Amino acid sequence: MSAVRVLSHDLLSDEERLVLKAARSVAGSFGRKYWLEKWSLGEEPRELWKRMKDEGLAGTGVPEDLGGSGMGLMGAVLVQEGFALEGLPMIQFLVTHFVRDIILKAGTREQKERFVTPTCVDGKRLSFALTEPQAGSNTWRISTFARREERGYVLRGQKVFISGAGESDFMMVVARTKRYEEVRDKRDGISIFVVETDSPNLRLQRLNIDTKSPEWQYMVYFDDVEVPPENLIGRENEGYRALFHGLNVERLMIAAIAVGLGTYALARAAEHARQRVVFDVPIGSHQGVQFPLARALIKLEAARSLIYSAARLYDNDAGSVELANAAKFMASEAAVEALDAAVQTFGGYAWDFETDVLNLYPIVRLFKTAPVTNELILSYIATHVLRLPKSY
């Protein structure tokens, strides 16, 4: 619906524009109203997932020989942004893609065919279980443990804030195969597994978290869940390499949602500012309304440029860690600023549910906190780019 011209889109290739256009077309055919209706009914957007599969969008970012549509991370980022530009955040596409990207990088051919191909051709979805109630952002201190036995592994532990766990078919689980107290290098002993979400002894509890989207967060309990050895992704005890590889993809996909929703909010606000007449003139003619919207647009464009640059570096196997972190930071900050400017533009009407402005706040504000806090990103940039002493 955006009437806002996105300057960065002029720099996309013809193929990239087609991907973005296709994503916006599918998202627009369902619309924000559909998204909110599904949320209010507590139902999954199954029809939307089916359309994504049928149109080939679900497989964007996956090689064609595995059933995907190709286009690398840049393609997946554009699909993610395209949906958000129409007001549809699609967190589970984000999670599904960065999890399967880990499998693409670290998994065997057989694992790719078992867990990645079905996300493209059958519409299967993936979730990601890393965060724990006690460890929080300190990934190294997770306590979920995978005990090695004759027939494979047995998982025991607890995870929290697991997006779409109840709606996914497979779950990637990050666990320790050596306890933290037993290793000299904190990175040692991290292993990655894929489990089916209907596995015996795997329990899900939906959390009381409301992002005004038909996607939910879960507490996940592993009470001696058996995992066959062929479900280990990469090498035992060396999963940290693949893990942090995938987390950079997650940051860019989150950033794509943020700039998309921020632009969506600005488009809504600009339209209102053109039409709303007070004191005989449109309120958009006042610089007090114009400047916050223009400032937010500039910051969103800056964030978008970081996202595209980092995605292209990633697709070319070049270093993108710093840019991925910078993009997530900038996008989340810019999106919140854009939404705040939109709220101020709508005035009291922003608090009317039917206006659908403040409904965006829970999901937009979330991105400053998750999947990594902006404070941790600043610490990372300070340490690894500015080469300042480590603060934690």
pLDDT value of residue 245: 84
In tens, the pLDDT along 138-152 reads 899 999 999 999 999
Q: Is residue 267 part of a domain?
A: yes
* Domain assignment of residue 303, given as a range: 241-384
Residue 390 lies in a domain: no
Q: What is the CATH number of the domain that holds 272?
A: 1.20.140.10
pLDDT digits (tens, 9 = 90+) for 4-57: 899 999 999 999 999 999 999 999 999 999 999 999 999 999 999 999 999 999
As to burial, measured by CB atoms within 10 angstroms (0-12 exposed, 13-18 middle, 19+ buried), residue 224 is exposed
Residue 332 in tokens = 């989340």
Domain-ending residue, one of 238, 264, 287: 238
**Confidence (pLDDT) at 2:** 52
How large is the angle between the packed helices 321-346 and 240-275, nearest 10 degrees?
A: 20
Residue 392 within any structural domain of the chain: no
Total-model pTM: 0.96
| Domain shared by 232 and 110, yes or no | no
Whether 70 and 199 map to the same domain: the answer is no
Last residue in a domain, options 192, 222, 238: 238
Q: In degrees to the nearest 10, what's the CA dihedral of 151, 153, 157, 161?
A: -120
In the chain the first and final C-alpha atoms are separated, in Å, by: 44
Q: Clarify whether residues 271 and 314 are in a common domain.
A: yes
Per-residue model confidence as pLDDT tens digits over 362-392? 999 999 999 999 999 999 999 999 999 998 8
pLDDT tens figures, 276-296: 999 999 999 999 999 999 999
In a domain, 35, yes or no: yes
Residue 389 included in any domain: no
Phi-psi region of 296 (alpha: psi -120 to 50; beta: other; left: phi over 0): alpha
Residue 285: CB atoms within 10 A of its CB come to: 12
Average pLDDT over residues 305-321: 94
Q: What CA–CA distance (Å, rounded) separates 328 from 239?
A: 23
Rg (CA), the chain: 21
- Nearest-angstrom CA–CA distance, 168 and 161: 14
Give the whole-angstrom CA distance, residue 220 versus residue 317.
34
Q: Has residue 391 been placed in a domain?
A: no
Whether 229 is in a domain gets the answer yes
| Domain identity same for 170 and 262 | no
164-192 in b/e form (b: 16+ CB < 10 A) is bbbbbbbbbbbbbbeebeeeeeeebbbbb
Domain boundary among 89, 123, 157: 123
How many distinct structural domains can be found in the chain?
3
